[in-house]
Amino acid sequence: MLSGDFDILDVLRVIVDIAIVWYVLYKLIMIIRGTKAIQLLKGIVVVLIVWVVSIIFELKTIQWLTNQAILWGFLVIIILFQPELRRALEQLGRGSIFTRSSLSEDQKTEQIVNSIVESTIYMAKRRIGALITLELETGIGEYAETGIPIDAKLTNQLLTNIFTPNTPLHDGAVIIKNDRIVAAACYLPLSESPSISRDLGTRHRAALGISEVTDALTIVVSEETGSISYTKNGELYRNVSEEQLAKVLTKNLTQTMRSEGRPLNWRGRKNG
């Protein structure tokens, strides 16, 4: 009986041990997603595969080369990816890797929704063309790197000002991550789908393009008609109302931030 108890405890220890390691690795991958570090991770996997193959087939030269790459690779990683490692350690120090404040996340999501909706409605009424992409689960850092870095707190005034005609940043997409504007004047991949209506311009094709390769939510304001559209998972939703836009933003951002607790209260405005 005692031996059986010890067996169960051993199994539980193994399960907890694996779960903790898996969770930490998952969080680290979430931190580096959308950055060049993820490409390095793919390279490490390739090197490890080559190393295993060289051992199996006794390829001495390749085995020696891969051993050197593994031996010195960790030092190279620390030097090249110091910003990402520092960011991970900062989040670990703040406890944000393992814990989240439900209340603060709800408030942050509510603020993001309000800022985007107010700015979008303002631009739609004045027929100011806009392309706004929100990063959700899939990192889109490679597309942010094609634009001009902003790294500023999201406000409806700043977002509107970026798309004001004849300003340096108005052409291209704005990329938003959490409650910050990451970059402006970004280039997004254009969709080549033959089913796209011919009356749709470059902004709509770019919005569809990014939705086909990532899970990002992209909002489009038409410069010609002032209509609001959004794309998600390769689908285009046209002529969206103010309330519909707020609802879809709240749903997707809440899922991304894994908020729990009180419902979000979007401060709707009366049209007048």
pLDDT tens figures, 65-96 = 988 888 887 787 777 767 666 766 776 666 55
Angle in degrees, 0-180, between the axes of helices 82-94 and 2-32, rounded to the nearest 10 = 130
183 DSSP 8-state letter: E
Based on the fold, state whether residues 89 and 106 are members of the same structural domain. no
Tens place of pLDDT for every residue, the chain, 272 residues? Answer: 445 555 788 888 889 889 888 887 777 776 666 555 666 777 888 888 998 998 998 888 988 998 888 888 778 777 776 766 676 677 666 655 555 544 467 778 889 999 999 999 999 999 999 999 999 988 898 899 999 999 999 999 999 999 999 999 999 999 999 899 999 999 999 998 888 888 888 999 999 999 999 999 999 999 999 999 999 999 999 999 999 999 999 999 988 765 333 344 444 443 33
Q: Do both 107 and 204 map to the same domain?
A: yes
15: containing domain: 2-94
136 assigned to some structural domain: yes
**pLDDT tens track for 245-255:** 999 999 999 88
Count structural domains, the chain: 2
108 and 207 share one domain: yes
What strands, in cross-sheet order, belong to the sheet with 228-232? 148-153, 180-186, 173-177, 130-135, 217-221, 228-232, 235-237
Q: Any idea which residue has 């593994």 for tokens? A: 70
Q: Are strands 217-221 and 148-153 parallel, antiparallel or unpaired?
A: unpaired
Strands (E) in the chain, as ranges, are 130-135, 148-153, 173-177, 180-186, 217-221, 228-232, 235-237
Q: Which of 43, 77, 94 is the last residue of a domain?
A: 94
